[in-house]
Every structure is written in C-alpha cells, then in structure tokens.
Amino acid sequence: MTSHEERNRLSWNAATTAHNAQKGDQVAFFRGGGSTLFPEEVALLGDVNGRSLLHLQCNSGQDSLSLARLGARVTGVDISDEAIRFATELSRDTAIPARFERAEVVAWMEETEDRFDIVFASYGVLWWLPDLDAWARGAARVLRSGGRFVLVEFHPVALAFDEAGRPVDDYFATGPVETPEGVGDYVGRSGEGLGATVPAVQPFVNPNPSVGFQWGLGQVVTTLARAGLTIDSLKEYPYLNGWRRFDQIEERAGRRMHLPGQPALPLMFALAATKPPLVSPSPKP
C-alpha cells in the first residue's frame, strides 16, 4: 500500500466512525424496509435480482445492503477497516446477506478470480483514485462478457468550488491534492440528506490528513472506453443527491440539493457502460 493510500485509510477510519455515530439505529432502519439508494442509480442498474454485483469503494455498506435487499448477490470492497467492520456487522444484524472485503480496490480487482454481472460505484469515489486507468481496467476485467458498469458521481465542476461557491481549483489540474484536515464530516453537514439524525456531541476533527486526485469528465469517459467498455449513456444533473456541498443550498423533493438564484451548473453525472460480449470466430468454410 502506498503512503497516500495508507493516509487515506487512516483518515477514512476516523471519519467513518463519526459518520455512523450520527445515523442512529441503522439496524432498525433496514429491518423496517429502509433503503439509502437514490432513483438515479436504481434506474441505471435496472433489475438486479439474482445478479452478481461488485460495489467498488462501498464505504459502510448501506448502499450495498440496499442493493442486496433488491435481490443482488453483493460483494463490497473498501479500503477502510472501520467501514468494512461496520458493513459486515450491519449485514449480520439485519440478516441481509452480502460479502465485504477490506482491500485497496484496484489491487483487489487485479487479483480476484471472481466475475460479476454488474460493477457499481457512486458518490465521491473518483477523488480517491491515483490511477484512473488502472481502476477502469480493473472494472472491465472483473465484469463478465455483456456485463454492465454503472457510475453515479459528483461532477468535477462541483469540486472546483469551495463551500462558499467560490472557484478555488483549476478544473484541469493534475496531481495529488493534499488535504491536511482529512476526510470531513460531510454527513453531519448534510443532515438527513445523508441520513444523519443524531447531532454530533462536538464538531468532528479528523487527526489524519488525506490526499485526493481530480479527474475531469472527459478523462473519465475516455478512460473507461480505453479499458474496453462501450459507453451506453452519460447524463449530467443540476443538483446533488443528499450532499450539502455548498453553504447556499436549497433542498428539494427527494433530497436533491440545488444551487438557487443562479444559472444551473452540472453538479452530478451518471454513466452506464457495457462490456462487449465475446464474439466467436466464424467457422472456416
């Protein structure tokens, strides 16, 4: 594991504990039929019942278990020990079956012999990838022929502004971005938009810095195509699902966060792709 991966693992371990402490009784939430999925990913994934699904960077497994509740045979992979511990216990305590693996996701995809009908990733995953090409190749490798790749992600345009809505980062910047304050309490900041129902006893301060990597939309599409996936659809949205990214935000129906009083900007995007089926060689005459 590289130094930045180790820093991010520690930073996520600390943040994950704080995030889940604010989400109340999640076992009761799932036992009561709760789901953390948004309509965008449900529509793109389609019918997952009976299909094998790999959830990349699955965090604490809430979306993974929501997909398992729909009938998917789910494997979730994440770098955070605390996230995987929580996900495994939540699966056990809710009796929703899913398998969770603690690993750096690219290395895991390069090594596994498992193959999946669907590979899924969502909401804040690309920022943590130092090698987008390796991630895309891994996703293509573990997909079965004819399998489906689905990504729902915050738009890189939204990440170029700070919380006050001021442009602070070059959209086309390359290289690592050091974050001394580490992974923050975006769950507490977003409140019920991301499932926080219990106020934090005190403001969360992460003792572990983190490092991220910015990728433009063109880079994402090109990299997935270069990995051998056929892009089926790409859609941009003028809102964020759940996340209060900016100070001036307006929550509308469905926990959709809009920037009011200005021309709409792309704040989120969704992409679906397919691994082309194998073509058998024509028989010789």
Residues of the chain below pLDDT 50? none
Distance CA(38)–CA(36), nearest Å, equals 7
> What's 244-281 look like in SS3?
CCCCCCEEEHHHEEECCCCCCCCCEEEEEEECCCCCCC
Predicted structure pTM score: 0.95
- The predicted pLDDT at position 165 comes to 85
Residue 70 has a pLDDT of 98
pLDDT of residue 99: 98
- The pLDDT assigned to 164 comes to 86
Structure tokens at 184: 């923050």
Q: Which domains does the chain have, with CATH numbers?
A: 3-274 (3.40.50.150)
Report the first-to-last Cα separation within the chain, whole angstroms. 53
CB 81 within 8 A of CB 60: no
Whole-number pLDDT of residue 263: 87
Q: For 199-253, how does the pLDDT look when each residue is reduced to its tens digit (9 = 90+)?
A: 888 899 999 999 999 999 999 999 999 999 999 999 999 999 999 999 999 999 9
